[in-house]
């Protein structure tokens, strides 16, 4: 069973594209893109055990930091740079996105929505930091460093000269087509920076 976010990303990406997956984990998405879309893919992952699992599955991955390791790539080297479920775990979001938008013709960002109605309900009525199926962590053990809503992310993009080319919103494994900031538990954005393409 392919997770819906992977299916959507695979659907967005054109066949044969050159892909860089930042924070690629065990390499599931790269394997999918390689098999389904004949992509030339590579990844960056900080956890050595995950890197070994990537190698076990025949994916080329270099252990490293997604924030500081893109400097070696020339501009627009990749057709797609993917930051799926990894951007909120980065301290310097602006630097990470700037670099991704520099080396990628398109950047696909998948982020959780910390302001879905379920979370809002917990904050408002229970007075607690939200813990949901989609956001299972407690405040003291969450790997997330940044907490954002889908609206926050859209606002951020418009303030930073980033064009949102496409969006897909999800709730509970299904697509959502309206009131995304309230209903969706996550969003997938296809971005590019126009000034990078002049």
Partner 1 sequence: MTIVETQYLTVANSPHELTLRSGARLGPVTIAYETYGKLNSAKSNAILIVHAFTGDAHAAFYHKGDEKPGWWDEMIGPGRPFDTDKYFVICSNVLGSCRGTTGPASIDPKTGKPYGLTFPVVTINDMVAVEKMLVDHLGIKKLLSVAGGSMGGMQAAAWTVLFPDMMHSAIIIAACHRHTAQQIAFHEVGRQAVMADPDWLGGDYYGKTIPKRGLAVARMVGHITYMSEASMEQKFGRRLAKKDVLGYNFSKEFEVEGYLEYRGQSFVERFDANSYLYLTKAMDYFDLTEGDRKLSEVFSHVAADILIISFTSDWLYPSYQSQAMVRAMKANDVEVSYVELTSDYGHDAFLVEMDEQSKAVSNYLAKVYRERAS
Nearer to partner 1, 102 or 168 (CB): 102
Closest residue by Cα to residue 97 from 146, 61, 50 = 146
CA dihedral 100, 105, 108, 109 (to 10 degrees): 30
Q: Give the one residue of 4, 7, 42, 147 binding partner 1; rule: CB under 8 A.
A: 42
Q: In the chain, how many H helices and how many E strands?
A: 7, 8
Q: Is 107 in contact with 84 (CB distance < 8 Å)?
A: no
Question: Hey, is 91 helix, strand or coil?
Answer: coil
* Interface characters, 59-98, with partner 1 (x: CB under 8 A): -xxxxx----x-xxxx--x---------------------
Binding to partner 1 (CB under 8 A): which residues in 93-122? none
Q: Which two tokens stand for residue 63?
A: 């252990």
48 touches partner 1 (CB under 8 A): yes
By beta-carbon proximity to partner 1, the closer residue of 72 and 159 is 72
Candidate residues 52, 67, 76, 182; the one interacting with partner 1 per rule CB under 8 A: 52
* Cα–Cα distance measured from residue 195 to residue 96, given in angstroms and rounded to the nearest whole number: 17
Q: What minimum distance in Å lies between the beta carbon of 61 and partner 1?
A: 6
Task: Tell me which residues touch partner 1 (CB under 8 A).
Answer: 42, 48-49, 51-52, 54-58, 60-64, 69, 71-74, 77
């Amino acid at each position: 069973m392919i997770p819906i976010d992977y299916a959507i990303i695979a659907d967005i990406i054109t066949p044969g594209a050159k892909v860089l997956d930042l924070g690629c984990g065990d390499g599931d998405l790269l394997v999918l893109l390689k098999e389904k879309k004949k992509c030339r893919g590579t990844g960056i992952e900080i956890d050595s055990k995950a890197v070994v699992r990537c190698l076990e599955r025949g994916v080329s991955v270099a252990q490293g930091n997604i924030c500081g390791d893109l400097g070696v790539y020339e501009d627009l080297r990749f057709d797609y740079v993917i930051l799926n479920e990894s951007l909120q775990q980065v301290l310097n979001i602006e630097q990470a996105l700037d670099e991704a938008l520099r080396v990628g013709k398109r950047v696909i960002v998948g982020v959780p929505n910390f302001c879905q109605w379920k979370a809002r309900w917990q904050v408002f009525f229970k007075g607690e930091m939200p813990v949901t199926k989609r956001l299972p962590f407690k405040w003291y053990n969450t790997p997330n460093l940044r907490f954002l809503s889908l609206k926050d992310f859209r606002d951020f993009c418009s303030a930073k000269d980033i064009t949102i080319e496409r969006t897909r919103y999800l709730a509970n494994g299904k697509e959502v087509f309206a009131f995304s900031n309230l209903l969706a538990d996550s969003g997938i954005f296809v971005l590019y920076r126009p000034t990078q393409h002049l």
